């Protein structure tokens, strides 16, 4: 039997404060955007930059106690520098007859590398490694918010 791997690792800046929501069954989750940048010089020597936006989903724990979602809700803010690990999940939705396709990153681990409150130079005691519940619930269809 062959093995497979679905793993994403990103370092980037949070695009906006986490959007905390709940499924119809009451399971809480957060939606967060993360920006990564690529810089290069074109053949003429001009500096170029491209920003990629990634859609992150962070699921809450199904048990009482601290979870990765709690950390996102309490500490992660727009502009923070994060390292995240997770897996890719593809989904689609249809609105007014138009199909939309999404690529989400289901965050399993996170490390805060810097805070917008500290000028990106540290988390003011907020840095650290965090892991999510190993068995997040199956995600429900996403709305059409493009983050």
What letter would DSSP give residue 136?
A: P
**Any idea where the domains of the chain sit in the sequence?**
8-39+50-131
Predicted confidence (pLDDT) per residue in 56-105, tens digit = 999 986 555 558 999 999 999 999 999 999 999 999 989 899 999 989 99
For 77, counting Cβ atoms within 10 Å of its Cβ (0-12 exposed, 13-18 middle, 19+ buried), the class is middle
Rounded mean pLDDT, 28-46: 93
Query: Does the pLDDT at position 144 exceed 80?
Result: no
Superfamily covering domain 8-39+50-131: Nucleic acid-binding proteins (2.40.50.140)
First CA to last CA distance, the chain: 37
Query: What pLDDT, on a 0 to 100 scale, did the predictor assign at position 62?
Result: 52
Give the C-alpha distances (Å, rounded to integers) separating 44 from 40, 48, 58, 109: 11, 11, 42, 40
d(CA 7, CA 12): 16
Reported as half-sphere exposure (CB side, CA atoms, 13 A), residue 49 has a value of: 4
Query: Following DSSP, what letter does each residue of 20-83 receive, concatenated?
Result: EEE-TT--EEEEEEEEEEEEEE-TTS-EEEEEEEEEEEEEPPSSSS--HHHHHHHH--TT-EEE
């Amino acid at each position: 039997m062959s093995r497979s791997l679905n793993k994403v690792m990103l370092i980037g800046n949070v695009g906006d404060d986490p959007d905390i929501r709940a499924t119809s069954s009451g399971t809480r989750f957060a939606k967060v955007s993360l920006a990564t940048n690529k810089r290069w010089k074109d053949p003429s020597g001009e500096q170029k930059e491209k920003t990629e936006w990634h859609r992150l989903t962070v699921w809450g724990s199904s048990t009482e106690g601290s979870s990765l979602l709690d950390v996102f809700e309490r500490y992660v803010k727009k502009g923070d520098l994060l390292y995240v690990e997770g897996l890719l999940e593809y989904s689609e939705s249809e609105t007014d007859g138009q199909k939309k396709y999404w690529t989400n990153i289901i965050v399993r681990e996170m490390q805060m590398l810097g805070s917008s409150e500290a000028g990106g130079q540290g988390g003011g005691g907020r840095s650290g490694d965090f892991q999510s519940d190993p068995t997040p619930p199956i995600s429900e269809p996403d709305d059409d918010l493009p983050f």
